[in-house]
Every structure is written in structure tokens, then in C-alpha cells.
Amino acid sequence: MQTRRHFLKSSVITGSAILGGGSLGLLASQARAMPNVVLQPAITEFPIISNLPAQKMFSYTPGGPAPILRAKQGEPFHARLENKLPEATTIHWHGLRLPNAMDGVPFVTQPYVYENETFDYIFTPPDAGTYWYHPHCNTLEQMSYGLTGILIVDEKDTPDFDDDVSLNLRDWRLGSDGQFIDLYKARKSARAGTFGTVKTANWSQNPTYEVPSGGIVRLRAVVTDVTRIFKLTTKGAKATVIALDGYPVPNHFELDHHAVGPGQRIDLAIRMPDEEGSAVELINTSASKAWTVATLKTKGLSLKRDIRDLKPLPKNPVPVPDLQNAEHIPFEFTATAESAPKNGFCGTIGFSFWAINRKSWLGVSPDPMEPLAELKLGKSYVFSFRNRTPHTHPIHLHGLSFTLLNSNKRKIDPFITDTALVLPDERMDVAFVADNPGDWLLHCHIIEHQKTGMSGFIRIT
């Protein structure tokens, strides 16, 4: 108990917690029986705007942002959810290929976890990279009030970076008194979504992190916002894109206003300037007025690293689809539905604006809809995503990773992902091996779109 409290406290101070079974300093047998981390979602108070009164927020640890969790590739990870919220919740591990029962979707993969109940999430991440976690229950409220955290799965062999900084990028719907205002406006839900008013990284506005002068820094940006698509670029030094959505890119490229939507992640390598006190800013340019998301500042004598020494990250063991024999399945994302939606449970907001293959699903319910597609275990599939709306949708598939093969609108260097940003009128093919049995959600990660119909699931048996 003592140990856990100590960790929770330190995670509040630093905004990040490094929690590995080994780091608790216990015997291996005890460590195995104990969770690596205990997450206690609860109502807490925190001042997002420092000179205004604190808001009531939801957090996974008392008094501050969710801890940055670390798991190790190929080693069991155990997180215990102890729900201290006065409502049901669950945890979804976004982007991880894990057993269906650990996926955190109420009524689809597990029951609700009510107040004071616990649930143990135990899985062994096969892939290294940058992931995140969030509830899959009353999602618009629970995420908008704060329940989003980063999960890093460390590579088996630690890559050669001089520092590793993670940014949880998200906005808040706060009024001028610093208190929460209405989380969405229905007419905006029917368009791009309702944007936050205060923009933060790790719950603070343009935080600064000290990193070694002349060092190579791994900067992980995780968009956990419910609405905003970022366009990221840097000032003060160039940044190299080394991974997208957790997966190493086949060829490094320079960051240049790269779009990162809700649910997506980008890993950058930045060779910091040699001079102490130099600033490198990460900037968002997706809105009419650009702003600095976070700043890295150099400290100490230059490490004089050479960016050309940067080695590609090791590949993750994702099975390669057999494109010759793959079955093609079309998915159309539209603004209209043909089938009348059933009443959604788990935080439906009551409107139906969006659909996948002409069906709207407003939320998970004890009586879910039919699967959008039934897949055979072990077979290869190509999903053709077609966006027939004038808005961009980050389309996320649970439990599997897919290769984004091509698009009718842009040139794509095929890469592996779990969340594809599908542009207006875009058609893209994504391929994967259906190697993970179960019911897996497929939905837009703009949460208002998800909650107003752009959601469904596929079944693999």
C-alpha cells in the first residue's frame, strides 16, 4: 500500500510515473502477483488555467494528469482499475493488439466497472511504441473531463536517445471563469465537432521541458483530444518522423505540418541545438491561429550527437497480409443512416448524424447491433474506407493493426497504423491479417461522431 501511494504521489509531482514490476523492488514472485500500476479514476480538482479557480476534473490519479505508463515489449503488463467515480467506467488500451477480453468495451468485451469495483487488465504487448488509454464508457464526458493517458511500450533493446519526452495533447471546454462549459454543441457534432477553448500538453499550457544540449531527443506527441486534428511542425530545430501511431515508419521523413488526429500518435527525433538555453517549439498550425504546444529547452554542455547516427526503430512483429488472396470489404462513412438506431447506452448523446455502411450505432448497449462484417480467423482482408462526407474522420480499429496501402487523394508510403485519417472524399485501402479473434470496434475517434453514429464493430471467428 505504502509503495503504491508513494508512486501515485510522485506521479503527481512529475506528471509521469515509471512503473515497472521490477521497479517496485519486490521479489519476482510478489511482483508477478501485483499489478504494475493501479489506476483510480476519481473526481479531482486541478487548475488548468493557473490563476483561476480549479475545475472539477476526472483523473486516473488524485490531483493531476494521468500517469505516463510504461510497459515492456513482450513482457506481461498488469493494470488494475479501481473505479472511484460515481459512475461506471472501463479502460481501453488504444492501439494495442491484445486479447479481446482486455479491450475495455462494455457489453462487447466486458461488463461495466461500477463505483468501487475493480477490473484487472493483464496482457503482453507484442509491439513497442507509443499508445494510450481511455474509457470506453460515457466517453464524451469522461474523456472531456480528463480521462486520457499515455502508455509507452518500450522496445526490447532500448534505442539510443538522450531523452524521451511525451506529450498528451488535448483541449478543454472552459469558460472565462475557468469552469467547464457545455461539452458539445449538436450542430457542431454534425460537422467537424466541438473544439475546446483551452489547449494543453500534459494539462498545462505550453509546458517547457529541459533536455540535453546537442542531444537527440525522442518526442512523442499523442493526440488524446476528442475533436482536434493537429498539424504539427517545429521551430528552432528540424524534427524527423520516426514512428506513426506507435509503428516505426518505413522511411524517416522530415516533419512538415503533419496531420495528427484524435487517437493518433507521432514519434519525432530532434537533434537539439548545441547552445545551452536554446528553445525548440512544437507548433500546431491546424487552426487559423498557430500556437506553441510545448517547448524543449537545452541544458548543459553539448552532447554533440550526430543525427545521422539515428538508427531506425526495430520493426514490430505484425503479420504481413496476403494481398493476392485477401477479401475486399467496403466501408462507407456517411452523414446519413438508413437503419433507425437503437437507443445507445453508455453515454449516448441522443443524436444520430453519422453512419458506417448506412448504419448508425450510438453507443454500446446490452443489445448491440449486428457486426458490420464477419471475418475468418487467419485470413487476410483489405478494407476500403470511403469517406463520403465533407469532414475528415480518424477511423480507429480495435485490437488489430493494419497497413495503409493507398489513397485516391495522396501518395502514401505504406505504413502500419490503428487509426487512419480519412480525408473528405478520400478512398483508402487498408490491409491486415485477421489474427485476433473477437468483436472489435471500428469507429471515428472524433468522439461526437462516434457517439452520434459513426461506430460499429467487426467480428473475427
Contact call for residues 461 and 363 (beta carbons, < 8 A): no
Closer Cβ to Cu ion, 134 or 393, answer by number: 393
Strand 380-387 relative to strand 327-334: parallel, antiparallel, unpaired? parallel
Closer Cβ to Cu ion, 70 or 396, answer by number: 396
Closer Cβ to Cu ion, 169 or 422, answer by number: 422
Residue 78 pairs in a beta bridge with: 122
Residue 142 host element (H or E): helix 139-144
Closer Cβ to Cu ion, 449 or 451, answer by number: 449
Closer Cβ to Cu ion, 135 or 394, answer by number: 394
* Chain Cα centroid distance, residue 360: 23
Query: Mapping DSSP to helix (H, G, I), strand (E, B) and coil, where does residue 22 land?
Result: helix
449 binds, among ligand C2O, Cu ion, none (CB under 5 to 8 A by kind): Cu ion
Closer Cβ to ligand C2O, 173 or 398, answer by number: 398
Binding to ligand C2O (CB under 6 A) within 4-63 occurs at none
Binding to ligand C2O (CB under 6 A) within 127-166 occurs at 134, 136
Cα 304 to Cα 85: distance, rounded to the nearest angstrom: 49
Cα 146 to Cα 169: distance, rounded to the nearest angstrom: 11
Can residue 393 be called a binding residue for ligand C2O (CB under 6 A)?
A: no
- How far apart are CB 289 and ligand C2O at their closest, in Å? 28
- How far apart are CB 192 and Cu ion at their closest, in Å? 8
Tell the residue number behind the cell numbers 523492488, with chain if given.
25
263 binds, among Cu ion, ligand C2O, none (CB under 5 to 8 A by kind): ligand C2O
Binding to ligand C2O (CB under 6 A) within 92-131 occurs at 92, 94
| Segment interacting with ligand C2O, rule: CB under 6 A, options 42-50, 57-65, 299-307, 437-445 | 437-445
CA 322-324-328 angle, to 5 degrees, is 85
For ligand C2O, the binding residue among 441, 444, 454, 460 (CB under 6 A) is 441
Q: Give whole-number Cα distances, 2 to 9, 24, 89, 105, 121, in Å.
A: 11, 11, 26, 32, 22
Cα 420 to Cα 400: distance, rounded to the nearest angstrom: 13
Q: Give whole-number Cα distances, 424 to 142, 389, 403, in Å.
A: 28, 6, 20
**Which residues, in sequence order, are CB contacts of 255 under 8 Å at separation 6+?**
232, 233, 234, 238, 239, 240, 241, 266, 268
| Segment interacting with ligand C2O, rule: CB under 6 A, options 57-65, 268-276, 383-391, 441-449 | 441-449
User: Residue count at the site for ligand C2O (CB under 6 A)?
Assistant: 10
Query: Mapping DSSP to helix (H, G, I), strand (E, B) and coil, where does residue 8 land?
Result: helix
Cα 148 to Cα 164: distance, rounded to the nearest angstrom: 19
Binding to ligand C2O (CB under 6 A) within 274-333 occurs at none
Closer Cβ to Cu ion, 209 or 361, answer by number: 361
393 binds, among ligand C2O, Cu ion, none (CB under 5 to 8 A by kind): Cu ion
443 binds, among Cu ion, ligand C2O, none (CB under 5 to 8 A by kind): ligand C2O
| Segment interacting with ligand C2O, rule: CB under 6 A, options 123-131, 165-173, 198-206, 438-446 | 438-446
Q: Which residue is nearest to ligand C2O (CB)?
A: 94
Letters for 224-253 (x = contact with ligand C2O by CB under 6 A, - = none) are: ------------------------------
Residue ranges that bind Cu ion, judged by CB under 5 A: 393, 444, 446, 449
SS (H, E, C) 195-247: CCCEEEECCECCCEEEEECCCEEEEEEEECCCCCCEEEEEECCCEEEEEECCE
Cell digits of residue 18: 515509471
- How far apart are CB 457 and ligand C2O at their closest, in Å? 10
Closer Cβ to ligand C2O, 109 or 194, answer by number: 109
Closer Cβ to ligand C2O, 85 or 364, answer by number: 364
Can residue 396 be called a binding residue for ligand C2O (CB under 6 A)?
A: yes
Cell digits of residue 145: 473531463
Residues at the interface with ligand C2O (CB under 6 A): 92, 94, 134, 136, 263, 396, 398, 441, 443, 445
